[in-house]
């Protein structure tokens, strides 16, 4: 226990400091909580970026077209909105790819625009293929400028 010392005419007990292991245990809990907060923040921030969010929405459109829950023309318009969000561009014609892929991108945009505005609604298979192609274009993130 502590030693007794006389200070100012009264007896005072000197309490020994806590062992180092108990002091470190509190530090570990604090560090662990800080790490947990950082991980949760990273998941929230990284999971909410435009491309992953657009991919999730496109997968929902694809599932809806597979189960034929949505009108094909409406689904194609939804694909356009998802692509705009994923590339963070108000106009898809502003999205640029490498010279090798740019003609394919322009052809895909023309086909998608045709599906959205033609008098004849696209078939569910055409809509499904457009969603699959849109997912592939979003996956080419490093190639878009």
Closest CA to 137 of 109, 116, 117: 109
Stretch 59-71: mean pLDDT, rounded? 74
Q: Is the pTM of this model over 0.85?
A: no
Domain that holds residue 76: 50-139
Q: Is residue 144 part of a domain?
A: no
**Tens of pLDDT along 82-120?**
888 888 888 888 888 888 888 999 999 999 999 999 888
138: nearest Cα among 46, 59, 47? 59
pLDDT computed for residue 5 by the predictor:
60
CA distance 94 to 106: 11
Looking at the fold, whether 28 and 67 belong to one and the same domain comes out as: no
DSSP state of 9: T
**Are 30 and 85 in the same domain?**
no
Contact 65, 75 (CB under 8 A): yes
pLDDT over 70 percentage in the chain: 72
């Amino acid at each position: 226990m502590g030693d007794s010392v006389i200070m100012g005419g009264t007896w005072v007990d000197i309490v020994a400091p806590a062992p180092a292991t108990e002091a470190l245990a509190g530090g570990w809990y604090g560090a662990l909580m800080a790490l947990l907060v950082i991980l949760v923040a990273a998941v929230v921030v990284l999971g909410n970026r435009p491309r992953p969010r657009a991919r999730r929405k496109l997968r929902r459109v694809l599932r809806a077209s597979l189960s034929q829950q949505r009108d094909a023309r409406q689904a194609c318009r939804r694909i356009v909105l998802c692509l705009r969000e994923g590339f963070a561009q108000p106009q898809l014609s502003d999205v640029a790819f490498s010279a090798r892929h740019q003609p394919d991108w322009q052809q895909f945009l023309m086909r998608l625009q045709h599906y959205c505005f033609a008098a004849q609604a696209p078939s569910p298979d055409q809509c499904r293929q457009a969603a699959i192609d849109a997912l592939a274009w979003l996956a080419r993130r490093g190639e878009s400028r």
